Amino acid sequence: MTVFEASTRPGETPPADAVAPRDSSADAPTSVARLNATIRDFVARWNTVWVEGEITSWNVRGGNIFARLKDTRSDAQISIRIWSSVRPRIPGDLAVGDHVVAAVKADYFVKAGDFSFAVSAMKHVGLGDQLEKLEKLRLQLRQEGLFDASRKKRLPFLPHVIGLITGEKSDAEKDVHRNAELRWPQVRFRTEYAAVQGDRCVPETLAALARLDTDPDVDVIVIARGGGDPQTLLGFSDERLVRAVAAATTPIVSAIGHENDHPLLDDVADLRASTPTDAAKRVVPDVSEQRALIAQLRSRATTRLTQRLSHDIAQLEQLRSRPSLRSPDPIIESRSQDVWLLLSRGRDTITRQHDAAGRATSELRASLRALSPAATLSRGYAIAHLEGGVILRDAADAPAGSSLTITVDRGSVAARSEGEIAEAPVPRSG
């Protein structure tokens, strides 16, 4: 603390540093340093206060932050300073436009006569509790499988009609229309306007989604908004809207914010686009790219067909150049002689085999005839049969009066036995 001491003599005007501001006059003014020191000492006795407002400027210099905080209901503003030692204790995502509550203490700089407030703590207004609830809801929906990639629907290659849910006369609508039409001029839109923040955001978006999802002409739905702070995007994390998007039958693209914005709608949508412009580029193909691709495919097909035809022509020429196709007569003539020789050899072999088989058959026939009873009968013998076809082998088996059948070389005759004939004695030689 600066100490001002009077060094005056009786009757002399005291120096300015020696005059307290409350004792100053036109003849004995106080000094600027004494005035600023007095103000500083007075302000230093103020306690820390909590103040609510909106950040209107945010500048980082040398690790410290110099900003301004505006009243939410009037134009009143204050200057605030956040020293580098305090920055680790405040949220890292604070930015211009955020609605915050800050713990501030008045600070007066004597040298510059600058009055501001030093921040010791700062947080989003009511956002902490909401973010905590959102994280719990995010975990619950993930456990239910609403974020699984397996349930996400594939976008059509070229949609006939694009359903668009966005704010009326918004930059997001212009971005989607302009970029989609640049890529595919014939693209058609069916736009449903809805509030993109505030209390009307969720019910109006749900109604628009229901109308577009039941329209058979709509092939894909884009929900677009041009970013914003987490507070203004809370409607797109509403559980009713998230579950309605998950239950929709039409593929849905979420184009709510920029890269750092991440409402629950991004997780449940079939495709998340970083911006409305990105959504337009990913929903419809680029006609120039498709024409180039078609030209490339045509060129590749022409090249492959030309190569195939050239290869086949070369193959045919190679086949035609072979001796068998160029002059087949000598080959046929040389082979005909071989065929004639093989045919003659085959005939001789068959003839010899046939003659040998005939001789073997004759020999077998002669042997069979020699062993057959018919051969015996042909020599004058006969066979006698009793009744029932039994061959008579013993004369005693045919007593007088027995009926006989006599079989000779040709035919048979009936006979009757006169009994056994006594054998004549065989004369002995002297």
Phi, psi of 72 (to 5 degrees): -80, -15
Query: Which of 5-14, 125-134, 234-243 bottoms out in mean pLDDT, i.e. has the lowest?
Result: 5-14
Segment 274-313, tens digit of pLDDT: 889 999 999 999 888 888 899 999 999 999 999 999 999 9
Rounded to whole angstroms, the Cα distance separating 101 from 104 reads: 10
Please determine, for residue 430, whether its predicted confidence score (pLDDT) is greater than 50.
no
Q: Is residue 133 within 8 Å of residue 239, measured between CB atoms?
A: no
Per-residue pLDDT tens over the stretch 36-73? 788 788 877 888 888 988 888 899 998 899 999 988 78
Which tokens go with 21? 């501001």
| Separation between Cα atoms, residue 16 and residue 35, nearest integer Å | 10
DSSP string spanning 272-338?
E-SSHHHHHHHHS--HHHHHHHHHHHHHHHHHHHHHHHHHHHHHHHHHHTSHHHH--HHHHHHHHHH
Tell which residue, 383, 385, 382, has the closest CA to residue 404. 385
Q: Are 176 and 164 in contact (CB under 8 A)?
A: yes
Q: Tens of pLDDT along 91-139? A: 887 888 778 888 888 888 887 778 888 899 888 776 666 777 788 898 9
User: Is this prediction's pTM over 0.85?
Assistant: no
pLDDT tens track for 155-190: 999 998 999 999 998 889 999 999 999 899 889 999
pLDDT score at 233 = 82
